[in-house]
């Protein structure tokens, strides 16, 4: 074949392939997005830019309109007393409004006398949507016969449209149901600074560290974000403990709210909590006040801003919510890296060795040589060993006069990333007279005490790799017992 002809055919094929990709693949996606935007009632409306919602009901002319405004990142119901709106409800509502699409166009240019059949001659409701880019108005008439949609207009002269009625479900809630019932209505992962002031003892200050190259990592052990204690001690904080503390408060639900005439003494709060998140100039502040005398476990919580008093049930949850000291948040994990950073594991447990490298669907095990062929068992055995190592937490530090605790470790486990950098080296030493074992992260690091010896469990994992039970393993956990 003529080389020039072959080259021409190759160029033609490449060109056709490129045309197919950009027109049929990428082009289809672009056209679909353009069509979706065109069908939206407010094409340029973005959920994050909504600043206010005002709903006027013409059938209740004497009643005040529902006005909800965004203050920082929080939505507040305005009235004689400002009330915090349900943040989940408002997040859902703003998303629904931004993506609100017309089901159909009922009349492009309706005559004035025809509007009555849609309830739009005198619209029952008018929804005013305030944004940083200007206001939008939605006039709501009657529901459609199937009760699934509303007849609406975006102006007095616009077409009559049919839109899904789901977005009105939240706006039609009674004010009491629209209020935020969690004492801590924040996404815990958004909190950047936390101050806990117990009734007795020094205040605890926790600060989230700026994200580094580990941003976006995940771990089966919990969040990969990093926290530090700034007061009353300076130490690395355990992000799991911080997250659990915040979620414990976040998941509480108010049994009721106190009315304006109900007074409670907050002059000596049991605990005060302040949480900062980006976008707010002031923290969300909680004060745990006195107990409710009617029923054991109930307590008053004052939340600001706006200031509201809630009744919450602390039964069986006081350990997670109260009585914390700075030491409770200290990160005691021996290994401080995310699970998905580990690319290679090199371990020596007594006389047995493990050499495993991460592959796309699991782990490639080079040692032991007689590894089991079942991939599921092999992958879970290696992952469990990694998980167990990452989950180890020390109970106390070794005494200063005990420098040889790990001179001859019974086990060494090295964890490396894709570049070959050592993430951590775990040394497991001899048993302690008081129980447990000595351990360290790298030979030069401080020596700690574990309450339980993890080596037997790790040997059981190696036995699973070889398709045998722990008892069948011939490798001892340490030196043989003396006769």
**What does the pLDDT read at residue 480?**
41
Q: Residue ranges per domain, the chain?
A: 47-178, 188-329, 339-472
**What does the pLDDT read at residue 318?**
87
- Band of pLDDT at residue 15, cut at 50, 70 and 90: low
- Residue 362, token pair as written in the block: 């699991």
Q: What is the mean pLDDT of residues 267-291?
A: 94
Say whether pLDDT at 12 is over 90.
no
Quick one: DSSP state of residue 234?
-
Calpha distance 376→198 (Å, rounded): 48
Q: What is the mean pLDDT of residues 232-242?
A: 94
Contact 434, 361 (CB under 8 A): no
**What does the pLDDT read at residue 73?**
92
Contact 324, 272 (CB under 8 A): no
Q: What is the mean pLDDT of residues 39-62?
A: 87
What are 182-202's pLDDT values in tens digits?
Answer: 999 999 999 999 999 998 889
Window from 32-36, 125-129, 246-250 with minimum mean pLDDT: 32-36
Calpha distance 225→338 (Å, rounded): 10
Say whether pLDDT at 400 is over 80.
no
Bridge-partner residues for 345, per DSSP? 356, 415
The H-or-E segment that residue 37 falls in is helix 27-39
Phi, psi (degrees; rounded to nearest 5) at 54: -130, 120
- pLDDT: is 302 or 158 the higher one? 302
What are 139-189's pLDDT values in tens digits?
Answer: 999 999 998 999 999 888 889 999 999 989 999 999 999 999 999 999 999
**What is the model's pTM?**
0.78
- Residue 113, token pair as written in the block: 């006398």
Say whether pLDDT at 354 is over 70.
yes
Contact 204, 193 (CB under 8 A): no
Omega cis (within 30) before 232: yes
Calpha distance 366→65 (Å, rounded): 71
Q: Is 303 exposed, middle or buried (0-12, 13-18, 19+ CB in 10 A)?
A: buried
Calpha distance 16→78 (Å, rounded): 60
- Band of pLDDT at residue 370, cut at 50, 70 and 90: confident
Percent of residues in the chain assigned helix, strand, coil, to nearest 5: 25, 30, 40
Phi, psi (degrees; rounded to nearest 5) at 376: -60, -45
Q: What is the mean pLDDT of residues 214-218?
A: 45
Calpha distance 225→417 (Å, rounded): 18
Give the list of residues 6+ apart from residue 452 with CB closer than 8 angstroms, or none.
436, 437
**What does the pLDDT read at residue 462?**
86
Say whether pLDDT at 344 is over 90.
yes
Q: What is the mean pLDDT of residues 15-40?
A: 60
Q: What is the mean pLDDT of residues 353-368?
A: 92
Helix (H, G, I), strand (E, B) or coil at 258: coil
Q: What is the mean pLDDT of residues 258-277?
A: 94
- Band of pLDDT at residue 292, cut at 50, 70 and 90: very high
Window from 129-138, 339-348, 374-383, 401-410 with minimum mean pLDDT: 401-410
Helix (H, G, I), strand (E, B) or coil at 314: coil
């Amino acid at each position: 074949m003529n080389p020039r002809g072959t080259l021409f055919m190759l160029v033609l094929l490449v060109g056709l392939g490129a045309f197919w990709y950009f027109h049929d693949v990428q082009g289809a996606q672009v056209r679909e997005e353009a069509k979706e935007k065109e069908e939206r009632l407010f094409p340029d409306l973005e959920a994050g830019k909504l600043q206010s919602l005002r709903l006027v009901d013409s059938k209740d002319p004497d009643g005040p309109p529902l006005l909800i405004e965004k203050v920082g990142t929080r939505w507040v119901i305005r009235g004689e007393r400002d009330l915090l709106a349900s943040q989940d409800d408002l997040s859902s509502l703003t998303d629904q409004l931004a993506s609100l699409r017309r089901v159909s166009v009922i009349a492009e240019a309706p005559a004035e006398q025809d509007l009555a059949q849609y309830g739009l001659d005198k619209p029952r409701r008018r929804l005013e949507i305030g944004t940083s880019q200007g206001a939008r108005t939605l006039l709501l008439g009657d529901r459609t016969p199937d009760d699934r949609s509303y007849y609406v207009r975006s102006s007095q002269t616009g077409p009559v449209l049919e839109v899904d009625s789901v977005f009105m479900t939240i706006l039609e809630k009674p004010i009491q149901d629209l209020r935020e019932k969690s004492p801590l209505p924040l996404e815990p992962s958004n909190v950047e600074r936390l101050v806990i002031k117990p009734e007795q003892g020094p205040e605890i200050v926790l600060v989230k560290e700026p994200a580094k190259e580990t941003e976006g990592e995940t771990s089966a052990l919990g969040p990969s974000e990093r926290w530090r204690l700034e007061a009353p001690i300076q130490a690395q904080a355990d992000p799991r403990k911080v997250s659990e503390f915040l979620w414990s408060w976040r998941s509480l639900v108010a049994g009721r709210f106190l009315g304006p005439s109900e007074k409670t003494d907050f002059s000596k709060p049991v605990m005060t909590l302040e949480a900062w998140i980006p976008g707010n100039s002031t923290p969300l502040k909680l004060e745990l006040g006195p107990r409710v005398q009617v029923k054991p476990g109930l307590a008053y919580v004052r939340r600001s801003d706006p200031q509201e008093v809630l009744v919450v049930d602390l039964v069986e949850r006081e350990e997670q919510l109260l009585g914390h000291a700075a030491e409770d948040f200290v990160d005691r994990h021996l290994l401080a890296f995310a699970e998905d950073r580990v690319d290679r594991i090199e371990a020596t447990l007594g006389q047995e060795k493990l050499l495993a490298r991460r592959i796309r669907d699991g782990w490639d095990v080079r040692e032991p040589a007689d590894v089991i062929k079942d991939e599921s068992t092999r992958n879970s055995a290696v992952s469990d060993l990694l998980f167990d190592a990452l989950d180890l937490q020390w109970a106390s530090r070794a005494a200063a006069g005990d420098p040889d605790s790990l001179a001859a470790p019974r086990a060494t486990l090295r964890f490396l990333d894709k570049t070959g950098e050592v993430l951590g080296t775990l040394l497991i030493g001899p048993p302690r007279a008081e129980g447990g074992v000595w351990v360290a992260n790298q030979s030069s690091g401080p020596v700690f005490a574990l309450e339980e010896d993890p080596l037997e469990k790790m040997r059981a994992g190696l036995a699973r790799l070889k398709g045998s039970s722990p008892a069948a393993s011939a490798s001892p956990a340490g030196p043989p017992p003396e006769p």
